[in-house]
Amino acid sequence: MKTVNILAIETSCDDTSAAVLQNNVVLSNVIANQEVHRRFGGVVPELASRAHQQHIIPVVDQALQLANIHKNNLNAIAFTRGPGLLGSLLVGVSFARSLSQVLNIPLIEADHLNAHIYALFLDKPDKVFPKPQFPFLALLVSGGHTRIGIVRDFLDIEFIGDTIDDAAGEAFDKSAKIMGLPYPGGPEIDSLAKTGHISRFRFSKPVIPGYNFSFSGLKTSFLYFIRDELKKDPGFIQKNLNDLCASIQHTIVEILLEKMKFSTKQTGIKNIAVAGGVSANSYLKKVFHEWGKKEGLEIFFPDRGFTTDNAAMIGMLGYLKYNKGLFSTLDVTPYANNDK
Ligand code: KG4
Ligand code: ZN
């Protein structure tokens, strides 16, 4: 098999990332987090674009150095075309287009959401990870999306379910914000929930038919619940923080699990994968593995480092497209949402 060196760039939201892959093996995966957004309680698009401009060259340099690959030995450059923040995507797209022209190597666009799923096929130089067999069901849970897909083959995903309002990641982030926790709320809730009781507070789950999700009702009922309790006791959040985190996390995970139970029953598919930022959640991982064990299902999560936004997953999708000669032209522009 030919050895292919790919440089990948990811700039869809608030992390600037560059990775170097040799086939599906991640030689380096550098992620520069943008601290600038934290005091605003969410991502400020204008600031994100500016931070990407500052970070992109040092991040790419570092990725090449860590991988010990000279830029002249790259076979292709892959980048995130969308969906994401347009100003942020533009930085990565422009950089990738220029580098492709200067080095005279193919340019490969990657869809950020599909790439999250292909993160399951990455390996490290010293570690080969277990991989799902086709076809498998993919639950994609990120900050902006919650989807269920049937993955029939490489580059062949059919999405059968989507959220009709908020995403699972948003449910974590907004609940955290209501409790006064910093952004992003998912990891904060995950760690605070570890010493809390999952059934201390009960929140109603939405009744949505089929494969689709809804999270906005949960967020609203959480908001009203907290508001009412604060009226009775201003110290309510502080006194109950761990239980609140465990209970809201449990409800979000239950909503996801119920849809996946329905999907496996409907499709008969027994290989299940979870991907996207929320797949870093330790409770979700535990609950899904327990379900898999009980039902005889194979459950897969990407390696921890490849769950939240990273360029390695963009490189993986880039590698799959490279093998099929699916290249972009130099006039390619980003897309902000899936409608392109
Ligand atoms: O995939 P991702 O990094 O970016 C998008 O494509 O949106 O996902 C970000 C989302 C955020 O909502 C963040 O709170 C959530 O993933 N997240 C988590 C955890 N780590 C990140 N949610 C729950 N538990 C975590 N440990
Ligand atoms: Zn993402």
Q: Mind listing the pLDDT tens digit for each residue in 197-221?
A: 999 999 989 999 999 999 999 999 9
Query: Is the predicted pLDDT of residue 7 greater than 80, yes or no?
Result: yes
- In this predicted model, what pLDDT tens digit does every residue of 279-288 receive, in sequence order? 999 999 999 9
| Nearest C-alpha neighbor of 134 from the set 157, 111, 159, 113 | 157
**Beta-carbon contacts of residue 144 (< 8 Å; ≥ 6 apart):** 83, 167, 169, 170
User: Taking the CB of residue 169, how many other CB atoms lie within 10 A of it?
Assistant: 24
Enter the pTM of the model. 0.96
Averaged confidence pLDDT in the chain: 96
Q: What percent of the chain has pLDDT over 90?
A: 93
Q: Which two tokens stand for residue 174?
A: 């907004």
* Ligand 1 site-directed mutation target among 255, 308, 338, most atoms within 8 Å of CB: 308
User: Which atom of ligand 1 is least distant from the CA of 280?
Assistant: 26
113 pLDDT tier (thresholds 50, 70, 90): very high
What is residue 267's three-state secondary structure?
helix
| Nearest C-alpha neighbor of 117 from the set 83, 78, 165, 157 | 157
pLDDT at 339 (0 to 100): 54
> Is there an atom of ligand 1 within 6 Å of 184 CB?
yes
221-259 core/surface letters (b: 16 or more CB in 10 A; e: else): ebeebbeebeeeeeebbeebbbbbbbbbbbbbbebbbeb
| Nearest C-alpha neighbor of 248 from the set 208, 221, 227 | 221
Query: Is the predicted pLDDT of residue 340 greater than 70, yes or no?
Result: no
The Å distance, Cα 142 to ligand 1 centre, comes to 5
The Å distance, Cα 84 to ligand 2 centre, comes to 9
